[in-house]
Copies of this chain bind each other. A is one copy, B any other.
Amino acid sequence: MLRVGINGFGTIGKRVADAVRAQPDMRVAGVAKRSPNYEAEVALDRGYALYSAADDGATPFEDAGLPVEGGVHDLVVESDIVVDATPSGVGAQNKGIYEAHDTPAIFQGGEDADVAEVSFNARANYDDAIGADFVRVVSCNTTGLSRLLAPLKENYGVENVRVTLVRRGGDPSDTGRGPINDTLPDPIAIPSHHGPDVQTVFPDVRITTMGLKVPSTLMHTHSLNVTLESEPDVDEVRDLFADESRLFLLPERLGIDGAGKLKEYTSDAGRPRGDVWENCIWDESLTMDGADLYLFQAIHQEADVVPENVDAVRAIADAATKEESVERTNEALGVGSGLTDHAVDHADPISDAASDD
């Protein structure tokens, strides 16, 4: 049973903790937080051992009457592997702590690529992370692009990729972010960082990404063109995607026109937090024009990296092959559930708590 510590219990950390808890071969060693806010209450409600990452130690938590087990060093001691889900840039600062304890760690995509030996996407390069000390799970957008490009690259070859990322302005809880009533090229300069980030996974792929921010919070939407090295029929591409466990082709009959109905659907299906772990590709948008593939896909920025973090834990521990890990993660979380014609029952990662945490 792998003991996984979670440093940072915000948007990603709390989801990774619940996902780890749902796995048959892992347990949550504890979670570290900086402030005793509502998410600290959630951690304690879930039964996670709470550690303080505050500069002044346990004080803010004690003042709030919340019990903590110690500091980040104490959490690392209790962990076989740490998932660092702290804000962008903080992960790199934490690296020395993990090195001091000789404990492998997983960073998030907000860190620079050189924080780790491997920029990781389970579908694309699981094996590169086997036995690594430091792995970086690429960002939500890069994860979404990597999952899509891997099968295209393997089957048809990829000559050029052009993506416009229509990005949500902030997460639903980011009350201080914008824009309001505007569409902002962001960055104005081209390419955005996403293209070079995809190249940390696929160094030889030619890709240009253009980012914009809009006044929505639910998901990113990608407008995507891939010039392939061959000219498959659109139905071949459809079948190829249908075989991928973390790509979901949204059938027209569902009547899902955007992120709102999509999250309504996954919430109705009983998924924790309504999370959408899969790339959601609008089936109707799939278009081939010569060697040019066009499509729209929605990416849930809070959720799609969660199963990737779980797989990264197994890769580092060399605890499963790629296929075993992906299948185990999917099964335990319910990836694909509520997104198929006949939804099947899966473990509930919240209520079916593992007995040992």
Which chain A residues have a beta carbon within 8 Å of chain B's beta carbons?
160, 162, 164, 166, 168, 179, 181-186, 188-191, 208, 210, 212, 214-221, 223, 225, 252, 257-260, 282, 284-285, 287, 289, 292, 294-296
Whether B162 lies near A285 (C-beta < 8 A) is no
13 A-B contacts (beta carbon < 8 Å) = A164-B166, A164-B210, A179-B216, A181-B216, A182-B258, A183-B216, A183-B221, A188-B252, A189-B284, A189-B285, A190-B294, A208-B292, A215-B216
Whether B284 lies near A179 (C-beta < 8 A) is no
> CB-nearest residue of chain B relative to A284?
B188
Whether B216 lies near A212 (C-beta < 8 A) is no
Whether B289 lies near A188 (C-beta < 8 A) is no
Query: Could you say which of B166, B225, B284, B289 contacts A212, with CB atoms under 8 Å apart?
Result: B166
Whether B258 lies near A218 (C-beta < 8 A) is no
Query: Could you say which of B185, B282, B294, B296 contacts A285, with CB atoms under 8 Å apart?
Result: B185
What are the nearest 9 A-B pairs in CB distance? A164-B164, A164-B223, A184-B258, A214-B214, A185-B296, A182-B258, A190-B287, A183-B221, A188-B284
Whether A285 lies near B190 (C-beta < 8 A) is yes
Whether A210 lies near B185 (C-beta < 8 A) is no
Whether A214 lies near B183 (C-beta < 8 A) is yes
Whether B188 lies near A219 (C-beta < 8 A) is no
> CB-nearest residue of chain B relative to A222?
B164
A252 neighbours in B (Cβ, 8 Å) = 188
> CB-nearest residue of chain B relative to A282?
B188
Apart from the given pairs A183-B219, A208-B225, A208-B289, 20 other A-B contacts in the complex at a CB distance below 8 Å = A166-B212, A179-B258, A181-B215, A181-B217, A181-B218, A182-B259, A183-B214, A183-B258, A184-B257, A185-B221, A185-B285, A188-B252, A188-B284, A189-B284, A190-B285, A190-B294, A190-B296, A208-B287, A210-B294, A214-B216
Whether B185 lies near A282 (C-beta < 8 A) is yes
Measured in the bound complex, the distance between the Cα atoms of B221 and A135 in whole Å is: 37
Query: Could you say which of B185, B210, B220, B292 contacts A258, with CB atoms under 8 Å apart?
Result: B185
A338 CB to closest chain B CB, in angstroms? 20
**Known: A215-B214, A215-B216, A223-B223. Is A166-B189 also a contact (CB below 8 A)?**
no
> CB-nearest residue of chain B relative to A190?
B287
Measured in the bound complex, the distance between the Cα atoms of B212 and A121 in whole Å is: 28
Residue in A190, A225, A295 whose Cβ sees the most chain B Cβ within 10 Å: A190
Whether B296 lies near A188 (C-beta < 8 A) is yes
A181 CB to closest chain B CB, in angstroms? 5
Whether B182 lies near A260 (C-beta < 8 A) is yes
Query: Could you say which of B212, B216, B259, B295 contacts A223, with CB atoms under 8 Å apart?
Result: B212
A219 CB to closest chain B CB, in angstroms? 7
A206 CB to closest chain B CB, in angstroms? 8
**Known: A164-B164, A166-B166. Is A188-B259 also a contact (CB below 8 A)?**
no
Residue in A189, A252, A257, A258 whose Cβ sees the most chain B Cβ within 10 Å: A258
A166 neighbours in B (Cβ, 8 Å) = 164, 166, 183, 212, 214
A217 neighbours in B (Cβ, 8 Å) = 181
Measured in the bound complex, the distance between the Cα atoms of B39 and A150 in whole Å is: 55
Measured in the bound complex, the distance between the Cα atoms of B213 and A258 in whole Å is: 10
Measured in the bound complex, the distance between the Cα atoms of B4 and A263 in whole Å is: 51
A162 neighbours in B (Cβ, 8 Å) = 162, 225
A81 CB to closest chain B CB, in angstroms? 36
